[in-house]
Amino acid sequence: MAILCHGAYFYFFKFEDGRQAGSAPQFFLGKFPNGSWRQYIAEAGLDHPNDPGYFLRQTRLLCESLYYVFLSGYRTGLEAYWNWSLERSKGTPRESTPKWHVAKVSAGKALEEAKSAWNLRQENKFEESEASAKRALRFLVER
């Protein structure tokens, strides 16, 4: 994972291991749950000087964006360990391989719930967003 920030926006890049598909590993520009390639960074008091609530909402969105990026990286890391364990287990079963798979699946479910929570929050469906965020947390805890 990589995060690029130039002051007004930040972008993230994710690593794709192309070995499974027979190609070379590459970095790709990541997309946020709303389909955007970048996330705006509000400047305290400059964007809407008479509305501190605006800055707080933007700060929350920024935190949620970073959470999404880190959760995506976590899931990608688990997938890499699972793939590595699969490669090492050829011929000799490894006890850890199924555990990596379960962790990867749980992290994937958590990521999907986090995306849902993000989108529900953008639609001002606060209670549904909160419920989805709690389900995401449960998936992370269960792994």
- For residue 135, the model assigns a pLDDT of 94
Q: What is the pLDDT of residue 48?
A: 67
pTM: 0.75
End-to-end CA distance of the chain: 22
Write out pLDDT tens, residues 88-139.
888 787 888 888 899 999 999 999 999 898 888 888 898 998 899 899 999 9
* Count: domains in the chain: 1
Token code pair at residue 50? 């008479």
User: Can you say whether the dihedral through the CA atoms of 112, 113, 114, 116 is positive or negative?
Assistant: positive
| Single-letter residue type at 33 | P
Domain range for 136 is 2-142
Task: Give dist(CA 122, CA 113) in Å, integer.
Answer: 14
What mean pLDDT value characterizes the chain? Answer: 82
- Tens digits of per-residue pLDDT, 23-37? 666 778 888 887 888
Q: Would you place residue 43 in the very low, low, confident or very high pLDDT band (cuts 50, 70, 90)?
A: low
Q: What share of the chain is helix, strand, coil (3-state, %, to 5)?
A: 60, 15, 30
